[in-house]
Amino acid sequence: MQPKSILLIDDDLELTDLLTEYLSPQEYSIAVAHDGQSGLAMATSSNHFDLILLDVMLPVMDGFEVLKKLRQTHLTPVLMLTAKGDDFDRIFGLELGADDYLPKPFNPRELSARIKAIVRRIDNLANHTQMLSINSVELSLNPTNQSLQCNGQPVELTGTEFGVLQILMSHAGTLVSKQQLNEQVLGRKLAAFDRSIDMHVSNLRKKLAQYSDKEKIKTVRGSGYIFIESLL
């Protein structure tokens, strides 16, 4: 099996050495950049990366700016490395299109678990190319090429946003709990005060609102979400 390629963008030389040493034996190919500008250049080059680990505090160009520019052209999964306890960093990163976040300092085993969850989602998508499309009145979701159209217009989604919408549409008219979404999309149990899924749903709504004025995802406060548009 071809090793998954990871781009690590962090200016902490000791940490990048430690993570490279820790992750390489787990069949990951690690490339490293120590500032935001060079990291963005590597991320948008012809080299394909399966995942990007992106620190917030970077010289030359901070992680938020890197992510913002990256999302203009690339949907590569991004795991943000944020300051411990800084809710603003986490929420802002998710709003810009990060797939997940991990606060520093972290246990390398926790990082490995987060990486495996994202890689598992990528592999599951690749292994389910025969899954049928899901069509509603205005939406057409195609798991084969991870594409979405709203009223005939293509909608660019990150892998995480696609996973959330796929589950909601697959259970149209039925409440899907935040716990279920967290476990199936992010690969971990829902922790107290974790707003990751909320932010991904918020991003979905904003993107869909560009092509339709009809509400498609209803919030059941404290419980989860319901896809409310009828399927065809």
For the chain, domains (ranges, CATH) are 4-126 (3.40.50.2300), 134-227 (1.10.10.10)
Q: What's the pLDDT at 96? A: 95
Q: Which amino acid makes up residue 208?
A: L
Q: What's the pLDDT at 47? A: 79
Q: What is the mean pLDDT of residues 181-192?
A: 91
Q: What's the pLDDT at 17? A: 97
Q: Which has the minimum average pLDDT: 55-64, 123-132, 186-195? A: 123-132
* % of residues, the chain, pLDDT over 70: 96
Predicted TM-score of the model (pTM)? 0.91
Question: C-alpha dihedral over 102, 28, 23, 20, to 10 degrees?
Answer: -100
Q: What's the pLDDT at 143? A: 87
> Can you list the positions of beta strands (E) in the chain?
4-9, 28-33, 51-55, 78-83, 100-104, 134-135, 139-142, 147-150, 153-154, 176-177, 217-220, 224-227
Q: Which residues contact 203 (CB under 8 A, 6 or more apart)?
A: 94, 95, 97, 158, 161
Output b/e per residue, 67-84; b: 16+ Cβ within 10 A.
bebbbeebbbbbbbbbee
Q: Which has the minimum average pLDDT: 3-12, 185-194, 196-205? A: 185-194
Q: What is the mean pLDDT of residues 147-160?
A: 95
**How far apart (Å, rounded) are the C-alpha atoms in residues 105 and 102?**
9
- pLDDT(149) > 90: yes
Q: What's the pLDDT at 1? A: 65
**How far apart (Å, rounded) are the C-alpha atoms in residues 2 and 27?**
8
- pLDDT(108) > 60: yes
Higher pLDDT, residue 121 or 178? 178
Q: What's the pLDDT at 126? A: 62
- pLDDT(53) > 90: yes
Averaged pLDDT of the chain: 93
Q: Which has the minimum average pLDDT: 121-130, 167-176, 192-201, 219-228? A: 121-130
Q: What's the pLDDT at 146? A: 87
Q: 130: pLDDT confidence band, cut at 50, 70 and 90? A: low
- pLDDT(106) > 60: yes
Q: What angle do CA 202, 203, 207 make, to 5 degrees?
A: 120
